[in-house]
Structure 1
Amino acid sequence: MYGLGDLETAVMGVLWDSAEPAKVRDVLDRLRTPKQLAYTTVMTVLDNLHRKGWVRRELDGKAYRYEPEISREAAAARALREVLESSGNPEGVLLHFARSASDEESELLRKGLRAKGRRR
């Protein structure tokens, strides 16, 4: 995910796939990484994600339970927005993307734009 490191992205994936808020141990047990991670490493990553506004946490006994602050889709849209803003030519990027979009993606874009027009 744009703006996050590999481990932060993996931790967010676990939280997005979780049906309920998760403790550090839950996240550690569900993470699929090439190397074994320490509990404190995952705890630090979750604390950093909380500080950055990606997750919220609530104290449950002596441990926090973490859940995403935003959905996976909203995070992807935020990443796309950051890419567009940093490109130096957002119009060119959007036009290039539109030309490369599949028929299904084009229809989804049209649907989203129609819905945006109705909200105004």
Structure 2
Amino acid sequence: MRDSEAESGHGDRPRRRGQGELESQILHVLHRAGRPASAAWVQEHFDGELAYSTVITILTRLHEKRAVTRVRDGRAYLFTPAADGAGLAALRMRRMLDAESDRQAVLASFVTALSADDEQLIRSLLGSDSAAESGS
């Protein structure tokens, strides 16, 4: 197999997940539970094969990001989603923004790279927040 086949996801190697994709998939499984669920339950209901240690690692990361809550259940934890996929993406964006010293430059760069439709959506969301705060 050529290196280009492995890099493109062709050949014997499975496609490599994008950054945050596994977290989103595990969060989706947790949402489907409809109740607090153990790591073993998440592993069992995950579409595909994941090692138990991988599920625990991802759930721990999600807990550190405050995307899930957890409570003790004997020696294990039960996890509950605190955010959906959109909320998880927003947490990532906020964390990246917090890591930069010049917030204005980062936000300005972000806004200027938006499509016209996305820019209008943000304006609409900001406008509705302003209207709600002023009591309109």
* TM-score when normalising by structure 1: 0.64
Quick one: percent identity of the two aligned structures?
A: 32
2:34 pairs with 1:20: yes
Where 2:109 maps in the other structure, the secondary structure is helix
Structure 1: how far apart are the matches of 2:64 and 2:106?
Answer: 31
- 1:82 aligns with 95
Where 1:66 maps in the other structure, the secondary structure is strand
Seen in structure 2, the aligned counterparts of structure 1 residues 49 and 85 have a Cα distance that, compared at 3 Å, is closer
Q: CA deviation at 1:26?
A: 3.1
State the aligned residue count: 114
RMSD: 3.4
- 2:109 aligns with 96
Q: CA deviation at 1:116?
A: 1.6
Q: CA deviation at 1:71?
A: 3.1
Q: Which runs of 5+ in 2 are unaligned?
A: 1-18
Matching of residues 38-117 of structure 1 within 5 Å: 38-39=51-52, 41-43=54-56, 45-46=58-59, 49-50=62-63, 53-57=66-70, 65-117=78-130
* Higher normalized contact order (CA 8 Å, seq sep 6+, divided by chain length): 1
Greater radius of gyration (CA): 2
* TM-score when normalising by structure 2: 0.59
Seen in structure 2, the aligned counterparts of structure 1 residues 20 and 113 have a Cα distance that, compared at 3 Å, is same
Q: Which runs of 5+ in 1 are unaligned?
A: none
